[in-house]
Amino acid sequence: MSDPVWAIAIHGGASAPSKEDYSEEIGFMRVVLTKAKKQLSKGGSALDVVQEAVRALEDSGHHIAGKGSSPNTDGKFELDAAIMDGDNRNAGAVGALRGFKNPIDCAREVLDHSPHLFLVGKGAARLMKKRGMERVHNASKYYKPAVSTPVEKGQLQHGTVGAVALDSEGRLAAATSTGGLLNAVPGRIGDTPLIGSGTWADERVAVSCCGQGEFFMRCVAAADLSARIRYTKSDLQTAASCVLEDISLMGGQGGLIAIDRLGRVTMPFNTITMKRGFATWRDEIDVKVF
């Protein structure tokens, strides 16, 4: 009897290189993948695994998400996240959320406990308070921006984090979280929490994107990848490459991770670096930056 098929992929954002040594980030991502691998091999659900993986990446401070988020021009921290269950296409998302430790957990609360799919700002905060989600009471002490100075013109510095998974029951799920752009306009929301743009999961594929969100929104990138598989019968790698090519042709930069229902993984990007890694039922764990 063959082993159950499962797979997990994670990313820590696509960007211009900010340093020479990424050994700490690589080591931490291996830890995240090792834990996810153990959960999936024991029958854990894809939805729970991607949530936990993204939560760990948020808490690490290595990326522009969670603890490593960047302030906007008002000096406030507004965070976005989304999670989607490919088994039934249910989803939850939060945008411009202030004062809560783990946006991905807040997105899961929307999925599980709200009749709505996407909540922003004060409305999202109201539900999270009601649900007792962990707060950040002193933002200046808690947040340690992974990027503290603007990069040179033309360079991309994004640290969005994400995870996609296939579990042993054949269910796919995706989760993405971001702390936004350094010095963004207050209220700016990118592709991360927009279902179909930065995050998507259905019965064919799970996708999490990172990069210049406005371009991914214009391409409805994550859902487009699934549509290419469905309507053109493209394989996973071809569909992902075509989506990223469209973004490149418009002048956009970024990358994505995706897993299909056969456990195949692809992680294309058009930037110099994208922190990324995967593990599968074949006992593989691989993490790369360049």
The residues annotated with a catalytic role in the active site are 160
**70 vs 182: CA distance, rounded Å:** 5
Q: What is the token pair recorded at 119?
A: 């909540």
The residues near 68 (Cβ < 8 Å, ≥ 6 apart) are 60, 61, 62, 143, 144, 145, 146, 159, 179
Residue 279 phi, psi dihedral angles, 5° rounding: -145, 150
**Cβ–Cβ under 8 Å, residues 179 and 188:** no
The residues near 157 (Cβ < 8 Å, ≥ 6 apart) are 15, 16, 18, 64, 147, 150, 151, 182
The residues near 106 (Cβ < 8 Å, ≥ 6 apart) are 81, 94, 97, 100, 124, 128, 133
Residue 152 phi, psi dihedral angles, 5° rounding: -65, 155
Q: What is the token pair recorded at 165?
A: 């998974």
Helices 46-60 & 103-113 angle (0-180, nearest 10): 150
**101 vs 59: CA distance, rounded Å:** 8
Q: 């700016």: which residue's tokens?
A: 188
